[in-house]
Chain A
Amino acid sequence: MTAVSDPQSVAALAAEAVDNRVNLDFETEGMTLNMGPQHPATHGTLRIIARLDGEQVISAEPMCGYMHRGYEKLTEVRTYPQINALINRIDWLGSFANEVPFILAAEKLMDVEAPPRAQWIRTILFEMSRIANISLFLGDFGLQLGGMTAGFYAFRDREWVLNQIESATGGRFHPNFDRIGGLKDDLPKGWIDSSHTAMDKLLAFCDELEDLLVGNEIFQARTRGIGVIPAETALSYGLSGANLRASGVDWDLRRDNCPPGLVYDKADWKVWTHPDGDCFARTWVRLQETREAAKIVKQLLDTIPSGPVMAKVPRIIKVPEGEAYVATENPLGEMGYYVVSKGDLVPFRVKIRSASFNNISIVPWVARGAYVPDLISILGSLYFILGDIDR
């Protein structure tokens, strides 16, 4: 399972070299490079303090907290439906996906299950938010590596998905559409057909981007063999999602531990992995994932059952006593909510396990020995959303 490849051993050697150099007496005077809190490459307010020796990074320490909004405390003073509106904003690019694990955790505690149609629509919207999220990553990553064009394409084609999400939920960004026991509304008329069209456009976008970006020589030069993360390290840091699969670990919560309430087993799709564990692998896995997501959506659109979209739940939601942890495979990785309820309108404690927090905690490890421009590739390819790190 461990990805052993040339780039990886090169990176290990480089790290060793850095260590040795630090130990030498005639150490060149280091330089401290401060990136952020506002820096285009961190797309958000992450601050990185890097110690440099020439062009090489000796240590890089992310300083987060510039976007810390106190979700875990706020959930203790909000009712379940209010929390649902709040947690949309954690991973703001794939908002709908944030709601799902929380709703599923509450449903588990209450022992309700959404009707099949709601489960289908949930899964479809979940995958659409994945596309909305990752397509922006692909464009943005290109942009960070100097290829502006990819960013424009991403912003253009992402609108197709956002249109679909908006026409179904009423919100481009923060839909707040999921409810305990089902969904707020049924789909609008003609939505299924227009979604098919949108997904076709997205598949075309993926092909286009593959030519434009992933096949690009400069792009490959800047990502191949950079920021290699072996599988074992990735696991112990708790990396998840495409970052983990790019290190060769074949694990996807959607397939392997799909919580009841999502219907991934009703579609035929594939989990992509890549053995290299470098920046290129992460991008490539994400690109394939976008394609798979579009395929899942298309298949589920065809098999969507009829029926109600809301189970019978009390109007005022009190969740019985208990604890539950539900995690789903969000666009950024595993996102889970550990909900402790005491039978009140408000949860007693909610621990939010967000993917980016773990994903980015590996930066000090992986940036050691890298060069300054590689730092951008590494940060970009690890792909984080500030709200998801800082919560």
Chain B
Amino acid sequence: MGLVESGKLPKPLAKLLNISRKYSIWAYQWGLACCAIEMGAAFASPRYDVMRLGVIPFPASPRQADLVVIAGTVTDKLAPAVVRLYEQMPDPKYVISMGSCANCGGPYWDSYSVTKGVDQLIPVDVYVPGCPPRPEALLEGIILLQERIAHEDMAERWKGEPIVVG
């Protein structure tokens, strides 16, 4: 993809690429805490059914994933593992930070062992607030991410501001 990196991709081709990327997100689910169960409900339950959005939630390893949902509390002890996980994912990769804990520390804002926000460790694309966010909120986060992917200039990938679900 040398063309992509140099930003010389013809527009229609870029659009096509983006559309196909948008509807084939392989999401690695990293359930950390309570939010993981809501993520599970969003990803695995028939009621919310994330697959209709074109997200495939069962990659066996981070090496096959495009998206990781950090759902839950990241502690200082776990932080190196989060970074390692992120580094294992192939580019282009996206991160959704789900729940107040992953966003900013949440209810444990004054704890001695909790990392106050996963964005201190890895770049985050979408923040989904809530404690826990409803599965619908996570789905909205995914849709926003898809919108972002659709309009993405791949060379400029990391220059945009993160999205916050309202």
Q: Is there a direct interface between A and B, measured as CB atoms under 8 Å apart in the complex? A: yes
Q: Which A positions have Cβ atoms within 8 angstroms of B?
A: 37-38, 43-45, 65-70, 73-74, 77, 85-86, 89, 92-93, 95, 136, 151-152, 155-156, 159, 172-174, 386-387
Give residues of chain B (84-115) contacting chain A, Cβ–Cβ below 8 Å.
85, 107-108, 110-114
Q: Chain B, 53-95, contact with A by CB distance < 8 Å: what is the 0/1 string?
A: 0000000000000000000110101100100010000000000
**How many whole Å from A147's CB to the nearest CB in chain B?**
14
CB contacts (< 8 Å) of A386 on chain B: these are 33
In the complex the two chains form, what is the Cα distance from A44 to B37 in whole Å? 10
Is B47 in contact with chain A by the CB < 8 A criterion? yes
CB contacts (< 8 Å) of A89 on chain B: these are 33-34, 107
Is B123 in contact with chain A by the CB < 8 A criterion? no
Q: Are B31 and A44 in contact (CB under 8 A)?
A: yes
Q: Are A155 and B45 in contact (CB under 8 A)?
A: yes
Q: Are A66 and B77 in contact (CB under 8 A)?
A: yes
**How many whole Å from A191's CB to the nearest CB in chain B?**
20
CB contacts (< 8 Å) of B81 on chain A: these are 37-38, 45, 66
Q: Are A70 and B111 in contact (CB under 8 A)?
A: yes
**How many whole Å from A272's CB to the nearest CB in chain B?**
26
Q: Are A92 and B75 in contact (CB under 8 A)?
A: no
Residues of B in contact, count (CB < 8 Å): 31
CB contacts (< 8 Å) of B37 on chain A: these are 92-93, 136, 173
In the complex the two chains form, what is the Cα distance from A155 to B36 in whole Å? 13
In the complex the two chains form, what is the Cα distance from A156 to B44 in whole Å? 9
In the complex the two chains form, what is the Cα distance from A174 to B34 in whole Å? 9
Is B125 in contact with chain A by the CB < 8 A criterion? no
Jot down 19 A-B pairs with beta carbons below 8 A, ordered by A: A43-B31, A45-B81, A65-B75, A66-B75, A66-B77, A66-B81, A67-B73, A67-B75, A68-B75, A69-B73, A69-B111, A70-B108, A70-B112, A73-B111, A73-B112, A89-B33, A95-B34, A152-B45, A172-B38
**How many whole Å from B157's CB to the nearest CB in chain A?**
25
Q: Are B45 and A174 in contact (CB under 8 A)?
A: no
CB contacts (< 8 Å) of B134 on chain A: these are 172
Query: Would A74 and B38 be within 8 Å (CB), given that A43-B31, A156-B45 are in contact?
Result: no
Query: Would A92 and B78 be within 8 Å (CB), given that A69-B108, A74-B110, A77-B110 are in contact?
Result: no
**Apart from A66-B81, A69-B73, A77-B110, what are 18 other A-B pairs with CB-CB below 8 Å?**
A44-B33, A45-B78, A65-B77, A67-B72, A68-B77, A69-B114, A70-B108, A70-B112, A70-B114, A74-B108, A74-B111, A85-B107, A89-B34, A89-B107, A152-B46, A159-B45, A173-B132, A174-B131
In the complex the two chains form, what is the Cα distance from A89 to B38 in whole Å? 13
Q: Are B75 and A174 in contact (CB under 8 A)?
A: no
CB contacts (< 8 Å) of B45 on chain A: these are 152, 155-156, 159
Q: Are B113 and A70 in contact (CB under 8 A)?
A: yes
Give residues of chain B (124-156) contacting chain A, Cβ–Cβ below 8 Å.
131-132, 134
CB contacts (< 8 Å) of A174 on chain B: these are 34, 131-132
